[in-house]
């Protein structure tokens, strides 16, 4: 998902949450647009943070997978070397 779509999605959810909040309180939905802007900005920032976190998590997972693969290859090479040395002793 792109950064813009993530931010817009979270901001839209923030606006919907604000409308839900005012609806529960039975207040006019358009009496205080500043509150709407705060909700949109807050949830938009949360969307930006979630996008950045997703990118960083993908990088960490890729690094960890590469490290695990390297260790597996080393273990396989060690086992093959040990097996070859066992065969040559017999």
DSSP 12-62: HHHHHHHHHHHHHHT--TTS-HHHHHHHHHHHHHHHHHHHHHHHHHHHHHH
Q: Which residue has the higher pLDDT, 1 or 23?
A: 23
Q: What is the pLDDT of residues 9-54, one digit of tens each?
A: 999 999 999 999 999 999 998 888 999 999 999 999 999 999 999 9
pTM, full prediction: 0.72
- Domain hosting 21: range is 3-89
Whether the per-residue pLDDT at 1 is higher than 90: the answer is: no
Per-residue confidence (pLDDT) for residue 88, from 0 to 100: 75
Q: Are 48 and 6 in contact (CB under 8 A)?
A: yes
Q: What is the pLDDT of residues 65-88, one digit of tens each?
A: 999 999 999 999 998 888 888 877
Domain count, the chain: 1
């Amino acid at each position: 998902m792109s950064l813009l779509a993530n931010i817009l999605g979270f901001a839209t959810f923030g606006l919907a949450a604000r409308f839900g909040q005012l609806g529960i309180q039975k207040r006019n939905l358009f009496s205080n647009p500043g509150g709407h802007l705060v909700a949109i900005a807050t949830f938009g920032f949360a969307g930006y943070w979630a996008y950045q976190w997703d990118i960083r998590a993908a990088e960490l997972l890729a690094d960890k997978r590469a490290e695990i693969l390297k260790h597996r290859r080393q273990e396989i090479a060690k086992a093959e070397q040990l097996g070859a040395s066992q065969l040559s002793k017999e």
